[in-house]
């Protein structure tokens, strides 16, 4: 009943147990456990079940040793210790509370090196490089940096909507006027950090994303993200080059990279985490070199190609924090929906306790022929790639969402609302028929399942 795809692994004990009848015969149902917020949900799914997970990677060294190696033995550029001795203050850019990067592990190690280089705690600021996403809250400090550093250091968050706090550094060849935070530009030692994962329109996360969108102005970010959409006359479509894993010809990535080169960080730390959000690898040094090293590892482990599409897919974001809101949760769906046959069923498990932005619901609710495209051409749709991606997913397969979102919000997205995962299974059977093969993707936020070309 159950298969795995190398290098992905079948996690039988955690996720699946075969149902055995009193006569010893295997029934045609597999019982699955998938994460939903901070909970586990169990459901029976019919058919041949394939569980697709990245491999069970464990750190080969202590977490402190992994970070120390990345800081002391950079991939290109100078070590953080050398840089610290030439600066009197430092700015550490990190992700916000809606992501896990290993910051609670690496911030204490970075601070130790900075202190040894003569930079006092009071001269160290930790800033959440949030782009347009959630800004920093005081209560986030301990979660992001650990209790000791939360007490000792200064914390703040980037605000992309304050023109007086931004300065222009140039214009990219794609016409993007690049404005970045003055706090970042003025820092004698700029340190960016991030977790490398696949990213559905930027190719991969981390690296240059610490600058754009991290510390960029709203209009700079929106201009960059608009490159994920192609406009030719009255035609509007997703740019096929702005996709998972593509860096070479990806206009979003290339624009980000060009912007970051105008004011690069002095040191970049890129981390790789496992499915339990445990840090397993880290690469430090010059921005592009450190990012390339992280990308090489993730590219080899977190993507799998399949020979034929599945009839059904059960996809979880990986639980909290990855399903905190719709903007974060949809990454799991958009990473994997094309691995299901057209007209198939996707059971999308995403708690979303913090809901969805109104602008996304309003754009996704536009169902008239050419209505969304017309508004995009008029510049009336913010981050148009998201409603276009969501529309593509719901037109490809029946998306049934198990969530805390209100049914009206789910309907606006164009999905079917299910009050429980067992109800979702029943709905999938009605909408798409009984499955011959079902994929289960417990960590859709970091997993990319694609059909072989």
Mean pLDDT (10-residue bins), the chain, 453 residues:
35 38 43 90 88 87 95 96 98 87 94 98 94 77 92 93 95 98 97 97 97 96 97 92 97 98 98 93 98 96 94 95 94 97 98 96 94 95 95 98 98 97 96 96 94 86
Going by C-beta distance under 8 Å and a sequence separation of 6 or more, which residues neighbour residue 61?
69
- Give the number of other Cβ atoms within 10 Å of residue 65's Cβ: 12
CA distance 267 to 211: 12
Question: Given this model, what pLDDT does residue 52 score?
Answer: 93
Arithmetic mean of pLDDT over the chain: 91
What structural domains does the chain harbor? 2-54+303-451 (3.90.226.30), 63-300 (3.40.50.11440)
Angle at 154 between CA 178 and CA 270, to 5 degrees: 55
Which pLDDT score, from 0 to 100, does residue 160 have? 87
Contact (Cβ atoms closer than 8 angstroms) between residue 194 and residue 209 = yes
Please give the pLDDT value at position 420. Answer: 95
- Determine the Cα–Cα distance for residues 431 and 453; give it in Å rounded to an integer: 27
**pLDDT tens digit sequence for 301-333:** 999 999 999 999 999 999 988 999 999 999 999
* pLDDT of amino acid 28: 61
- Distance, in Å, from the CA atom of 141 to the CA atom of 249, rounded to the nearest integer, reads 37
CA angle 168, 171, 173 (to 5 degrees): 165
Nearest-CA neighbor of 83 among 116, 55, 129? 116
């Amino acid at each position: 009943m159950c298969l795995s795809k190398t290098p992905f692994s079948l996690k039988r004990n955690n996720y699946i147990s075969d149902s055995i009848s009193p006569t010893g015969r295997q029934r045609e149902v597999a019982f699955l456990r998938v994460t939903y917020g901070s909970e586990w949900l169990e459901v029976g799914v019919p058919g041949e079940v394939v569980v697709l997970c990245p491999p069970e990677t464990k750190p080969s060294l202590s977490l402190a040793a992994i970070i120390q190696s990345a800081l002391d033995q950079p991939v290109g550029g100078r070590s953080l210790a050398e840089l610290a001795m030439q600066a009197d203050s430092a700015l550490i850019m990190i992700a916000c509370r809606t992501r896990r990067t290993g910051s609670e592990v690496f911030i204490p190690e970075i601070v130790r090196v900075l202190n040894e280089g003569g930079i006092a705690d009071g001269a160290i600021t930790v800033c959440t490089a949030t782009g347009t996403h959630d800004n920093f809250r005081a209560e986030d400090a301990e979660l992001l940096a650990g209790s000791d550093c939360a007490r000792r250091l200064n914390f703040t968050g980037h605000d992309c909507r304050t023109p007086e706090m931004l300065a222009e550094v140039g214009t990219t060849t794609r016409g993007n006027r690049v404005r970045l935070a003055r706090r970042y530009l003025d820092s004698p030692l700029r340190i960016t950090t991030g977790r490398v994962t696949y990213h559905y329109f930027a190719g991969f996360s981390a690296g240059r994303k610490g600058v754009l969108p991290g510390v960029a102005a709203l209009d700079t970010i929106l201009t960059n993200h608009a490159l994920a959409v192609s406009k030719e006359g009255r035609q509007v479509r997703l740019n096929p080059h702005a996709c998972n894993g593509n860096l070479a010809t990806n206009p979003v990535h290339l624009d980000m990279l060009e912007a970051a080169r105008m004011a690069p960080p002095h040191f970049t730390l890129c981390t790789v985490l496992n499915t339990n959000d445990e840090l397993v690898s880290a690469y430090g040094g010059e921005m592009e070199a450190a990012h390339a090293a992280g990308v090489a590892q993730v590219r080899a482990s977190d993507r799998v190609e399949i020979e034929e599409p599945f009839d059904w897919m059960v996809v979880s974001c990986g639980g909290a924090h990855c399903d905190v809101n719709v903007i974060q949760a949809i990454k799991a769906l958009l990473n994997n929906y094309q691995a299901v046959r057209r007209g198939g069923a996707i059971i999308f498990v995403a708690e979303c306790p913090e809901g969805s932005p109104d602008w996304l619901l309003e754009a996704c609710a536009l169902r008239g022929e050419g209505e969304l495209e017309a508004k995009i051409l008029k510049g009336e749709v913010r981050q148009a790639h998201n409603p276009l991606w969501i529309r593509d997913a719901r037109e490809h397969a029946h998306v049934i969402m198990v969530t805390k979102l209100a049914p009206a919000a789910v309907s606006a997205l164009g999905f079917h609302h299910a009050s429980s995962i067992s109800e979702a299974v029943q709905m999938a059977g009605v909408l798409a028929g009984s499955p011959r093969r079902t994929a289960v993707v417990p960590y859709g936020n970091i997993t990319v399942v694609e059909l072989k070309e």
